């Protein structure tokens, strides 16, 4: 099956919105944002989200958006932050998550940045993916979102 990864320009905001809403519906405990909050965002907010520092990758399978991941790169920091990693259920098991993460990490490496990300407790598949790429647990935990009993842990991948 044909797969393609590409950095999403602001003009791809509709594909970005579609895959992000699918991710939030499919895996609500994997993300700090909620489906209701995301649905309430105006179109301009989706376009703006694709203009933050750092790439947002969209993965396509047979021409349809089937996954995503982003790398937020704060200007005055020495780290980058992986966010929004998700692959559609029908596209899982094909290495798409690995491919997305690998490309995001290559971008961070070019910038000589330490990479951080959060993983939700119990999301063992995601944790295994991140650990396979060298991420280590920091022991820093916080609630998934305000009012949530679920916790997320900060993982870190140091440069070089």
State mean pLDDT over 102-112: 95
d(CA 28, CA 30) in angstroms, rounded, equals 6
- pTM for the full predicted model: 0.95
- In DSSP notation, 68-111 reads EEEEE--TTSSEEEEEEEEE-GGGTTSSHHHHHHHHHHHHHHHT
| pLDDT one-digit tens code per residue, 111-159 | 999 999 999 999 999 999 999 999 999 999 999 999 999 999 999 999 8
40: helix, strand or coil: coil
d(CA 126, CA 30) in angstroms, rounded, equals 9
d(CA 116, CA 59) in angstroms, rounded, equals 21
Instruction: List phi, psi (to 5°) of 114.
Output: -65, 145
| pLDDT one-digit tens code per residue, 58-93 | 999 999 999 999 999 999 899 999 999 999 999 999
* Structural domains of the chain ordered from first start: 3-157 (3.40.630.30)
Q: What confidence score (pLDDT) does residue 1 get?
A: 64
């Amino acid at each position: 099956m044909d797969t393609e990864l590409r950095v999403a320009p602001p003009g791809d905001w509709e594909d970005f919105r579609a895959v992000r809403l699918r991710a939030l519906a499919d895996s609500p405990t994997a993300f700090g944002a909620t489906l209701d909050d995301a649905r309430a965002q105006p179109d301009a907010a989706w376009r703006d989200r694709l203009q933050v520092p750092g790439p947002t990758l969209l993965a396509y399978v047979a021409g349809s958006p089937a996954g995503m991941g982003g790398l937020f790169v704060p200007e005055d920091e020495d780290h980058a932050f992986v966010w929004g990693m998700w692959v559609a259920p029908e596209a899982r098991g094909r290495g798409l998550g690995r491919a997305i993460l690998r490309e995001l990490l290559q971008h961070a490496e070019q910038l000589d940045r330490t990479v951080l990300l959060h993983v939700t407790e119990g999301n063992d598949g995601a944790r295994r993916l991140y650990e396979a790429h060298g991420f280590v647990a920091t022991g820093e935990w916080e609630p998934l979102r305000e009012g949530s009993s679920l916790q997320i842990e900060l993982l870190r991948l140091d440069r070089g």
